Chains A and B, each alone.
Chain A
Amino acid sequence: MALPTYADPLERAWHYAYLLICGLIFLFLIAPILVIIPLSFNAEPYFTFTEKMLTFDPEGYSLRWYDALVSVGMQAPDAETGWWADMWRNSTWVRAAKNSLIVGFWATILATVLGTLAALGLSRPEMPYRRVIMAVLISPMIVPIIIIATGLFFFYSNPCSILATSCGKLTSTYTGIVLAHATLGIPFVIITVTATLSGFDQSLIRAAASLGANPRTTFFKVVMPLILPGIISGALFAFVTSFDEVVAVLFIAAPDQQTIPRQMWNGIREQISPAILAVATILVVISIALLASVELLRRRSDRLRGVTGR
């Protein structure tokens, strides 16, 4: 954001102070990440910068936590042949990562689609019982997770009990975890999308309709582009909620359906394994790579379309 040419000296000073404040807040946000990365190479099983690390003694550093990450659960971590296939199929953390992604992906889709639809309805001025419905929809965020997890476990043990019949179980299934995580993610989508929609000019919808667009076209061509930041925020929240959720997975998942956070919380009675720092570092690298490539693609498509960024 460039300073307007008509800014007076006071405004200039304020502008630079403002940038400095923003810089400090960004530092606050990123500080833990800056600590995690070097510590993930610690040779000791503690979350401490050792003397050797501070003096950059190579002995103070090691890849043991990365090694532990892939080799736990593998059939033959030292084998020459078939190492990759073994890791992909058997490594405990790799399996946990796969589970986390599968569950997170579907839970996010479900929560975002249902949540956005509902938010569209909720922000219409003619929506009846708005407050009550909002209250019901955000309550999964309020009830402590241990209560939700226990309640869901009972329900999933016999989901048809409300119809007074029985029809299999949802426990120990991916469907069960996805549904649980979607439920937890919904309030986030509702709150962010409703907020974005409340700044939305409803007359645009009428304008589109008067120009002959049907409701579907109106949504995809007019509404959606404008509220997209809100939808994306909501979807991110929903994904992160699933990606960091421990308790519901503990109750609902089968032994082979453990997720990354469950794996991280394991054995906290004895020790927090620095392997969690290695996981975090890998995730940081992957997400930087993903975000950077998305950004590069976006710039490329902008260039091709002849748009010069705002």
Chain B
Amino acid sequence: MKRLLILTTAFGALALPATADEITVMGWGGAYTASQIEAYHKPFTAATGTTVVSVDSDNPATPIKAQVEANNVTVDVAILEIADAVRLCDEGVIIPIDPASLPAGVDGTAAADDFLPGTLTECMVPTDIFSTIIAYDASKYAEGEGPKTIADFFDTEKFPGKRGIRKSPKVTLEMALMADGVPAGEVYAMLETPEGLDRAFAKLDTIKADAVFWEAGAQPPQLLADGEVVMTMAYNGRIFNAAQQEGKPFDIVWDGQVYEWEGMSIPKGAPNEAAALEFVKFATSSEPAAKAAEFISYGPPRKSSASLVGNIQGTDQPMSPNLPTATENLTNALASSLDFWADRDTELGERYNAWLAAN
């Protein structure tokens, strides 16, 4: 016991609080964090001498909230999805960042105008735009015969086979309505009515028997690779990687994509708030945001970054057409609504689970 105490005290002493020339960033891990380390962390350290420690979490929102509530914050910057950021901002967990203090775009546009409309909020500075899309295995269809629209995903007569569906109402309900012919602009107005909700669930009912429900974002590419499903909802970045780097015959249907964005927030009581703010300003400026997009196909949220995005890392092909923000991919796209989901995520989570459990 005594030895244990001595040992653990020694280890405890090693875990010193981060000093001012070191900040801790909590992200999602995997290829996503890898892209951020290359595009943000390393250049920032080179420019300022401040070391960036990276920690991974399945969703940083949960530990951040606990840290602030317990008054024991170890994370300086958290990578959050916008819906979580809005909620945590409401709850006073993260500190507001003045848009005026953010650097202007390379073309001189003020930050407030440079970010895509609606993406910049009080508490979070966006880093990238990611999208839930329909992915399919192109080798299963003759040239040009594959699915082209969101409606095809729900059409099991024309395209027989199993479908991978996310085990969450967010995005799923929106896609169901779009497939049912509701224009992107009217989806949320319709979902706010009980009839609209029923309509979305009715549309989902039509493919429930053919559905494989997935939980983690890592699952859909695996489902496609194994031939368990012929089409699946998926995050666009992972599908792109599978097609690009691993030579898988996966293709993306951009029609009916639902995009969200994520970004950086500073929790209240961050140990190195000043350095954290510097980091956020640096990482969300035009060039690093464009750089990150070369590693993983999530779109930069600044208009001024769009033209800076170069070739896919390690190749001579341009990345731009593969981003959710590319003009040709946005023809029938929907931006996920913050207010809608902040108001209803508990209610619809319950209803969706009840729907899943019903036979």
Q: Which residues of A contact B (CB under 8 A)?
A: 44-48, 102, 106, 109-110, 146, 150, 153-154, 156-158, 169, 171-175, 178, 250-251, 254-258, 262, 265-273
User: Would you mind naming 18 contact pairs between A and B with Cβ atoms under 8 Å apart?
Assistant: A46-B222, A172-B74, A250-B57, A255-B55, A262-B56, A265-B58, A266-B29, A266-B33, A266-B56, A268-B29, A268-B217, A269-B58, A269-B216, A269-B218, A270-B28, A270-B31, A271-B31, A272-B216
- In the complex, the answer to whether B8 meets A174 with C-beta atoms within 8 Å is yes
The list of the 6 closest CB pairs from A to B, nearest first, reads A267-B30, A266-B29, A267-B29, A157-B72, A270-B30, A157-B70
CA distance A169 to B235 in the complex (A): 39
Name the distance in Å between A80's Cβ and chain B's nearest Cβ.
25
- In the complex, the answer to whether A269 meets B246 with C-beta atoms within 8 Å is no
CA distance A156 to B74 in the complex (A): 13
- In the complex, the answer to whether A267 meets B56 with C-beta atoms within 8 Å is yes
Chain A residues closer than 8 Å to B28, beta-carbon distance? 267, 269-270
- In the complex, the answer to whether A251 meets B66 with C-beta atoms within 8 Å is yes
- In the complex, the answer to whether B74 meets A254 with C-beta atoms within 8 Å is yes
- In the complex, the answer to whether A46 meets B12 with C-beta atoms within 8 Å is no
CA distance A124 to B218 in the complex (A): 51
| Closest B residue by C-beta to A99 | B11
CA distance A116 to B31 in the complex (A): 45
Name the distance in Å between B99's Cβ and chain A's nearest Cβ.
28
- In the complex, the answer to whether B63 meets A250 with C-beta atoms within 8 Å is yes
Q: A153-B70, A171-B72, A269-B235 are in contact. List 13 more A-B contacts (CB 8 A).
A: A47-B226, A109-B4, A154-B66, A154-B69, A174-B8, A174-B12, A175-B9, A175-B11, A255-B54, A258-B55, A265-B58, A268-B58, A272-B216
- In the complex, the answer to whether B70 meets A267 with C-beta atoms within 8 Å is no
Cross-chain contact of B226 among A45, A46, A106, A172 (Cβ < 8 A): A46
CA distance A265 to B235 in the complex (A): 18
CA distance A283 to B117 in the complex (A): 51
Name the distance in Å between B216's Cβ and chain A's nearest Cβ.
5
CB interface residues, B 225-269, toward A, < 8 Å:
225-226, 235, 237-238, 241, 246
Name the distance in Å between A234's Cβ and chain B's nearest Cβ.
19
| Closest A residue by C-beta to B72 | A157
Q: Residue among A158, A171, A258, A269 with the most chain B CB within 10 A?
A: A269
CB interface residues, B 183-235, toward A, < 8 Å:
216-218, 221-222, 225-226, 235
**Cβ of B71 under 8 Å from chain A:** yes
**Cβ of B15 under 8 Å from chain A:** yes
- In the complex, the answer to whether B15 meets A172 with C-beta atoms within 8 Å is yes
CA distance A109 to B95 in the complex (A): 43
Chain A residues closer than 8 Å to B53, beta-carbon distance? 255
- In the complex, the answer to whether B32 meets A178 with C-beta atoms within 8 Å is no
Please judge, given known A-B contacts A46-B225, A255-B54, A265-B58, whether A271 and B238 are in contact too, CB under 8 Å. yes
- In the complex, the answer to whether A48 meets B226 with C-beta atoms within 8 Å is yes
Chain B residues closer than 8 Å to A258, beta-carbon distance? 55
CA distance A169 to B54 in the complex (A): 22
CA distance A304 to B24 in the complex (A): 57
Chain A residues closer than 8 Å to B11, beta-carbon distance? 102, 173-175
Chain B residues closer than 8 Å to A265, beta-carbon distance? 29, 58
- In the complex, the answer to whether B72 meets A269 with C-beta atoms within 8 Å is no
CA distance A109 to B24 in the complex (A): 33
Please judge, given known A-B contacts A267-B31, A268-B30, whether A255 and B72 are in contact too, CB under 8 Å. no
CA distance A44 to B246 in the complex (A): 7
Chain B residues closer than 8 Å to A257, beta-carbon distance? 15
Chain B residues closer than 8 Å to A273, beta-carbon distance? 30
- In the complex, the answer to whether B30 meets A175 with C-beta atoms within 8 Å is no
| Closest A residue by C-beta to B70 | A157
Chain A residues closer than 8 Å to B29, beta-carbon distance? 265-270
Name the distance in Å between B225's Cβ and chain A's nearest Cβ.
5
- In the complex, the answer to whether A270 meets B246 with C-beta atoms within 8 Å is no
Chain B residues closer than 8 Å to A154, beta-carbon distance? 66, 69-70
- In the complex, the answer to whether A175 meets B72 with C-beta atoms within 8 Å is no
Cross-chain contact of B66 among A102, A150, A174 (Cβ < 8 A): A150
| Closest B residue by C-beta to A179 | B8
Chain A residues closer than 8 Å to B63, beta-carbon distance? 153, 250-251
| Closest A residue by C-beta to B71 | A157
